[in-house]
Amino acid sequence: MKQFYPNRFKDKVIILTGAARGIGEATAIRAAKEGAKLVLADRLKEEGERVLNAVRAEGGTAIFLNLDLSAEEHAEQMVDAAVKTYGHLDIAINNAGVMGNPSPLHELEQEQMDYTMANNFYSVFFCCKHEIREFMKEGNGGVIVNNASIAGLTGLPGNPAYVASKHAVNGLTKNLALDYARYGIRINSVNPAGTTTPMVAEAYEYVKNHREAAIKAGMDPAKAQSMAGQKLTSMLEREATAEEQAASILFLVSDDATHMTGATVQTDGGWTSF
């Protein structure tokens, strides 16, 4: 998707987590083209620096912070760096997350659940906490978009940790929208289905290998196929592109969405509607 709106985010300071690839990368590139001043954060250092260089090659203004946002002190450090670098904060896009390794509950170890919650829920909790504190300090309102998933709206067979973490993100989003509306702070979430990104590709590969291993171990192929248990397509019968997800995210943080808060927007090609 090559369309963009010049100067839509002129002089706006945007924090973007999970910026090193996929939806984060696409969002960074488009926001830069639309005039944003960016604070890019990711624990993938090499990939994050590549996105930083791509943003600057487009004439954008950005810094990159190599941070693991499952640690609260890193979320605080990120917000402090935004204000120190640009003087204020306008928008936050909390996009960082992991898929984890799908596992049914009776086989799920606490360490797996802890890892998924730390990277999908606590990272959002910590970021929102410190972003909201800064918005309240500045007194000019603010906008947050959290990246959840269709797994925050439905179940996904064999993946209770991911589903629980993304439902938690959507629950947090709604409650924060309620609590901070009086401060002029809008908070929404996006909920993608299959999107052409490295993380989704890795998840598909994991499921495929797990299914093939089950067949080799003697499981009936039809039963092994049903382990995934998922729809094969959305209404639109294709995956989204990272650029399409970026377009939805940037709409929600733009002035075209000033009456939207507490929304869990289905950016899923109709996946959760049938």
Residue 47 lies in a domain: yes
Tell me the C-alpha distance between 267 and 195, whole Å: 10
Number of domains within the chain: 1
- Its domain, for residue 160, covers 11-196+240-265
Residue 180 is a catalytic residue: no
Q: Is residue 208 part of a domain?
A: no
Sign of CA dihedral 3, 20, 269, 238: positive
Q: Which of 5, 115, 122, 162 is catalytic?
A: 162
Q: How many CB atoms lie within 10 A of CB 21?
A: 18
Reduced to 3 DSSP states, what percent helix, strand and coil does the chain have, rounded to the nearest 5?
50, 15, 35
Angle formed by the axes of helices 123-138 and 72-86, nearest 10°: 40
Residue 3 lies in a domain: no
pLDDT in tens, the chain (274 residues): 468 899 999 999 999 999 999 999 999 999 999 999 999 999 999 999 999 999 999 999 999 999 999 999 999 999 999 999 999 999 999 999 999 889 999 999 999 999 999 999 999 999 999 999 999 999 999 999 999 999 999 999 999 999 999 999 999 999 999 999 999 999 999 999 988 876 655 544 444 444 544 455 555 665 555 555 567 789 988 999 999 999 999 999 999 999 999 999 999 999 999 9
> Per the domain annotation, does 182 fall within a domain?
yes
pTM of structure: 0.90
pLDDT digits (tens, 9 = 90+) for 257-274: 999 999 999 999 999 999
Two structure tokens written together for 85: 């670098």
Is 183 part of any domain?
yes
Q: How far apart are the first and last CA of the chain?
A: 27
Q: Which CATH number do you get for residue 191?
A: 3.40.50.720
- Residue 230 falls inside a structural domain: no
- Bridge partners of 93, per DSSP, are 16, 145
